[in-house]
Amino acid sequence: MTRFAAAIAEQIWDMKYRFKSADGEPIDVTVEDSWRRIARDLARVEQDPEFWEQRFFEALEDFKYLPAGRITAGAGTAREVTLFNCFVMGTVPDSMSGIFDMLKEAALTMQQGGGIGYDFSTIRPRGAEVKGVAADASGPLSFMDVWDAMCRTIMSAGSRRGAMMATMRCDHPDIEQFITAKQDAARLRMFNLSVLVTDAFMEAVKVDGPWELQFGGKVYHTLQARDLWNKIMRGTYDYAEPGVIFIDRINKMNNLAYCETIAATNPCGEQPLPPYGACLLGSINLARLVSDPFGPKAALDLEALSDLVAVAVRMMDNVVDVSKFPLPQQEAEAQAKRRIGLGVTGLADALLMLGLRYGSDEAAAQTEEWLHQIARASYLASAELAKEKGAFPLFDAEKYLASGSLIHMDADVRAAIAEHGIRNALLTSIAPTGTISLYAGNVSSGIEPVFAYAYTRKVLQKDGSRTEEEVVDYAVQMWRDLKGDAELPDYFVNAQTLAPADHVKMQAAAQKWIDSSISKTINCPEDISFDAFKDVYMQAYETGCKGCTTYRPNDVTGSVLSVSETSEAAPGEAQAKGAGVTEAGAEVVYMSEPLDRPQALEGHTYKLKWPDSEHAIYITINDIVIAGRRRPFEVFINSKNMEHYAWTVALTRMISAVFRRGGDVSFVVEELKAVFDPRGGAWVQGKYIPSMLAAIGGVIERHMVTTGFLEGEGMGLKSDPKAEVVNLDTPRGKACPSCGQYDMRMIEGCMTCASCGYSKCG
């Protein structure tokens, strides 16, 4: 008898969370083995580890408590990975050496599997004087490009790409360029962007007052606040970027306002964190705690909820002690404050089981009641832990009880904290739970509405065939089991049919009892007017939200899958900020496992001679034939130039890993062809190629066309960043090494760029 409620749940466990040896042999034979592994590892710091191992196992059993993916995959494996999901890095110094020290720290953090958040407001604006070198500053966005390039080369632990959040204050002189940066489709692809919006700015927007952009006490520019607000809104209306973070509210409501200032969040925004702050996440599965679902006595078991919360808090507190950290500063920060982020998933399913329509006043009130109970239980459990193990080191009873979310906390909870202290400075957060919600049987994600009642999932098998299986929302499947073919009641709503105001209402209801923040996407219809769209953000601000992220399908952001009674939109993390969304009518295809490599493969080797490079690059592409169709299986990139060694090896491994997963891998070509080298590209066979990586992408594309995988150049790609054909009848010199423009000319005996002023003579 399997513990999994759906086939997709078992497949997610096998691909993401099941402990396997280096050669792929399962060490966790069953999901019970995974629960036991996690429970044992988190209990080893207890005085009575056997007792707590069993308590922890019972909390994990049947997917009632869901630790975040890093914990589920990494706890008890002895692997050199962090159990923390993400980090906010240290304050970026406004100096060249300091900036690149921060870049190194970011790379080390991503190498262990952590996503990172950064505030780039501390870097002087473009054009500002750099004393001592007689030069102007290049500005924070130029350094963000460097971070973006670094992130592209690093795969996080567990085969997850590194995720990054960049924030910038609304009064930074480069804020307008920050807002529009990702409107260039090839730029900052590894970043989510959010503007740090202050209360003063929001008040200036309301009265259409002036707004000063300043840095270091110097005012660089003054504009109307409403004009800047409209620019932010237009960016997210058209491009889903940037998000908005109400930073003053975050700092005002922070329990630790007396000892830290926050200026950034983790990549999905649910954890505002100080420099070197770490994000430790887990979720209570509310859908598993409802008794008599869809019945006359349907209710969430509040006693069971409180007991489960108490055990979850203890487990998460232990993670602080058992986890590895990429940097010593991150470990010191975590140990000093012991903040955790306990949240929920399955909220919408639980509301459905009680007959409540997501977004209604009744559902909002019920959500607030449940999260109040979780907050109470969390703080009381942490106070008991403080009595047993000691309060977090920076605890100051008077200051702590006078700050943040403690002001409106219940009197008995405040009394317990005053008497015993508290073990964890902050305790609650609501994360995006797209993958772990699938693992738990396809429960609704986080506090999001049900994204789809059912959809058909096509799984690509090793032999090239595809199997189909229906994936059904957890609550819908329960309805079917109890009611048979009875029609779903009117209170069953999904993310596409809800009004944006209902989304905001639910986020605001949840935020009241969440001491950190919430990852929530407000789905807006494509035809929503710009003014109505702006009202969504103003509603979020006025109702106490700490941030706002929307998604409006359009030609730029893409469209969600068509929703119908028989085949609806694919669920999960497509709702999360920055995630891709499948086009209407497209197939949802998942790989069951990587393709096996035959003993021999047929392939071709290509020679790429890049101008000004001493050695050629050789690219070998081997193919596999599946179901009569030839497709790329692996790539080898080699050069005698040792300066190329590291990145060619990395590219070989990463592209080959993608190819071996199967499915539509043509996006690899698109990504490579879009890479722009700021030092300038080169002419290759009559075309201007923007970078050596773009040239490699072109070689792979031509191979795919030759073997029939693609019909032609640019065909099969979402967008084809075609190289511009250069008219060879018009001779041009070398590109400027600073800006890449072909405007280098001899001026006063020195080659000088007429576009940017760069001169080899200094």
Residues labelled as active-site residues: 266, 268, 270
Q: How far apart are CA 438 and CA 355, in angstroms?
A: 23
Beta strands in 583-700 (DSSP E): 589-591, 602-608, 617-626, 629-639, 682-684, 687-689
Q: How many other CB atoms are there within 10 angstroms of residue 85's CB atom?
A: 25
Residue 713 near residue 701 (C-beta atoms within 8 A)? yes
Is residue 631 classed exposed, middle or buried when 0-12, 13-18 and 19+ CB atoms within 10 A define those classes?
A: buried
- Which residues is 219 bridged to in the sheet? 214
Q: How far apart are CA 753 and CA 745, in angstroms?
A: 6
Residues in the chain: 762
- Note every long-range contact of 395-404, with CB atoms under 8 Å and residues 24 or more positions apart, other chains counting: 395/421, 395/422, 395/425, 396/258, 396/259, 397/421, 399/258, 399/259, 400/255, 400/256, 400/258, 400/425, 403/254, 403/255, 403/256, 403/257, 403/258, 404/252, 404/253, 404/254, 404/255, 404/256, 404/257, 404/515
Chain-centre distance for alpha carbon 619? 33
Is residue 306 classed exposed, middle or buried when 0-12, 13-18 and 19+ CB atoms within 10 A define those classes?
A: middle
Q: Is 602 helix (H, G, I), strand (E, B) or coil?
A: strand
Residue 73 near residue 35 (C-beta atoms within 8 A)? no
Residue 273 near residue 266 (C-beta atoms within 8 A)? yes
Chain-centre distance for alpha carbon 370? 26
Give the closest residue to 339 by CA, choosing from 293, 405, 244: 405
- Residue 221 has φ and ψ, to the nearest 5°, of -165, 145
The token pair at 110 is 């991503």
Beta strands in 461-601 (DSSP E): 466-472, 522-523, 547-548, 550-551, 589-591
Residue 648 near residue 617 (C-beta atoms within 8 A)? yes
Rg of the chain (C-alpha set): 27
